[in-house]
Amino acid sequence: MTQNELVMDLTSFCRELPKVELHAHLGGSLSQSTMLQLKRLYADSGIPDKTNAFFDEFQIAAGDTRSLSDCFQVFSIAHSLTSMPQALALATSLTLEEFQNDGCVYIELRSTPRETPYMSKKEYIDTIVQAIRRSSINLTIISKLIISIDRRSTSQSAEETTDLAIEFYQNYPEVVVGIELSGDPTAGQFKDFVPALTRAREAGMKITLHCGEICNPAEILEMLAWKPDRIGHGTMIHPRLGGTTETWEALCQLKIPVEICLTSNVNTKLIANYEAHQFKECCEAMVPVIICTDDKGVFATSLSQEYQICAETFGLDQSQVARLALDASQHIFDDDARKLVTDKILNFIECKEL
Ligand code: 5GP
């Protein structure tokens, strides 16, 4: 087999492998084709989408010179294209379909409820929930929603989002599974969101926190000690990457599953290159890792591509790659779907005799 055939082989394997996506922001997951359809919808409705910016500006490639905070500006492009309920519903269904076409069998899509000139925060959540419910008729991918709290928001706004999240979790437990903290990591303080997050947890919701995107050992320790169900990124926890012995030991001891986003971390320069990622150290320390895309539109990637990059960077064979997907399925928030998804991956492993 030539090197090219081998690469092709791994590409189709990663594509075919039943995968779970546990860290995907709706606003950052919009593909070029989805954005074009959204632009058309705005044009047809006679409503300007308030942005002339397009895909070149939306995407953040490896050599991008924008700072981490600048990177957060790109989401305003996605927000301008999802301000109307019809557009938000279309963005949701097209994105779920794209994940399915990439071999993803289960997704926990996340999004930050926002008030726009065309909908309230409540209508924002309801639009996504109903789009997910409708998608379960046409699509085979099992889709859930995690409601995001933006670190830039006030405590009052976070409390309001939490009230809505709990309400939707109680009314649609088959769709809404959790709540998360994200947004510009240089803004806000974790401790200000603890009361809201604690209420969500007490109501039965699962919690995931963006953690370790910037060098802030004190906050990382607070977050880990609070014992979220999962953390996102977890980049600057290992001392080699800006963490401390204490932060790394806390993660190794608590073994909180880490949603890792390789291309996102390289393109936003959280790490110098793929080889520098903490993936290997996490595996050696038996800290569960889950391969995720973060923002597949912004970083021009896909879940199968992230699996392939991981396999190539860390020299994994097909059996090890398949077991990454299997291990990831253990950390999904929906208890009912977990066994179904795990069985699907196990069946694939058996059929491929891995
Ligand atoms: P949305 O919540 O509007 O559907 O998706 C976009 C939002 O997700 C951004 O405005 C930002 O708050 C959050 N987000 C997307 N990618 C990242 C990331 O890599 N790190 C953090 N901390 N937040 C992100």
Supply the pLDDT for residue 105.
Answer: 98
C-alpha 28 – ligand 1 centre gap (Å): 7
- For the domain made up of 3-351, the CATH class stated in words is alpha beta
pLDDT < 70 stretches in the chain: 1-8, 49-54
Supply the pLDDT for residue 65.
Answer: 76
Supply the pLDDT for residue 8.
Answer: 56
Alpha carbon dihedral 246, 252, 255, 259, in 10-degree steps, equals: 80
Two tokens at 350?
A: 């058996």
Supply the pLDDT for residue 168.
Answer: 98
Candidate list 180, 213, 219, 259, residue with the active-site label: 213
Residue 322 buriedness (CB in 10 A; 0-12 / 13-18 / 19+): buried
CA separation for the pair 327, 304 (Å, rounded): 16
Residue 245 buriedness (CB in 10 A; 0-12 / 13-18 / 19+): exposed
Nearest residue (CA) to ligand 1, atom 24? 183
C-alpha 319 – ligand 1 centre gap (Å): 32
CA separation for the pair 224, 25 (Å, rounded): 22
Supply the pLDDT for residue 64.
Answer: 86
Nearest residue (CA) to ligand 1, atom 6? 27
| Pocket-forming residues, ligand 1, beta carbon under 6 Å | 25-28, 75, 111-112, 148, 150, 182-183, 185, 210, 213, 264, 294-295
C-alpha 185 – ligand 1 centre gap (Å): 10
For the question of whether the overall pTM of this predicted structure is more than 0.95, the answer is yes
Sheet holding 206-211, edge to edge: 19-25, 104-111, 142-150, 176-182, 206-211, 230-233, 258-260, 289-291
Pick from 38, 44, 29, 54: nearest CA to 146: 29
C-alpha 347 – ligand 1 centre gap (Å): 34
Q: Is 213 a catalytic residue?
A: yes
